[in-house]
Amino acid sequence: MTVSVDQIWGWLDEVPDPEIPVISVVDLGIVREVVLEGETVKVAVTPTYSGCPATSVISMDIETALRDRGIKDVKIETRIAPAWTTDWLSEKGRSRLEDYGIAPPQPAGGPERCPHCGSRNVTRVSQFGSTPCKAHWRCTDCLEPFDYFKCI
């Protein structure tokens, strides 16, 4: 079969992040490179946080997705440099995060607005949230708690 690198990127864009399934691993910016060498597909993946338990699941999901498309030889390389940054989140990913109720990262270091009601009156509960990549915030208008995808 003949496949192109673009096609593989498209397939990977259908692999959901295991903890935030509304965005893909490509949206998350952790797929750094796709290389085709004969029958072998090499995918370079950068972990978000060193201890993130989702990292090994993501590698497995990528491998499974490519095998399901008929790729027999998949090699996943874990690449730690340059270190992952939230700047690599795609625009599509950012807006899907907000629709899902997670405030996307902002250079100012805190959420721009409450993802539920849009209020700008928000306050931090904790630098650490339900997963390593998120902080815990609360809206002082609608009073709902929400996750903020923190800048790194």
Partner 1 sequence: MTRDMAFFEFLLRMGDNTLVLGHRVSEWCGHAPVLEEDIALANTALDLIGQTQMWLGLAGEVEGQGRSADDLAMLRDAWDFRNVLLAEQPNGDFGQTMMRQYLFDQAHVLLLEKLAGSSDERVAAIAAKSVKEVAYHVERSRDTVIGLGDGTSESHRRMQAALDLLWPYAGEMFTDDEVSGIMAGEGIAPEPSSLRAAWDAAVQQTMSEATLVIPDSDFAHAGGKTGFRHTEHLGHMLTQMQWLQRAYPGARW
Sites of contact with partner 1 (CB under 8 A):
47, 49-53, 80-85, 125-130, 132, 136, 150, 152
CA nearest to 84, candidates 125, 55, 108: 55
Q: How far is the CB of 44 from Zn ion (least distance, A)?
A: 39
CA distance 3 to 68: 14
Instruction: Select the binding partner of residue 129 from partner 1, Zn ion, none (C-beta < 5 to 8 A, by kind).
Output: partner 1
Q: Distance from CA of residue 40 to its chain's centroid? A: 25
For residue 77, the SS3 value is strand
CA distances to 70, 81, 86, 136, 148 from 16, rounded to whole Å, are: 19, 23, 17, 23, 19
For residue 106, count CB atoms less than 10 angstroms from its CB and return exposed for 0-12, middle for 13-18, buried for 19 or more: middle
Considering the complex, state which of residue 10 and residue 53 has its C-beta at the smaller distance from partner 1. Answer: 53
Does residue 102 bind Zn ion (CB under 5 A)? no
Considering the complex, state which of residue 60 and residue 125 has its C-beta at the smaller distance from partner 1. Answer: 125
Does residue 139 bind Zn ion (CB under 5 A)? yes
Considering the complex, state which of residue 13 and residue 88 has its C-beta at the smaller distance from partner 1. Answer: 88
Considering the complex, state which of residue 7 and residue 127 has its C-beta at the smaller distance from partner 1. Answer: 127
Q: Which residues bind Zn ion (CB under 5 A)?
A: 114, 116-117, 119, 139, 142
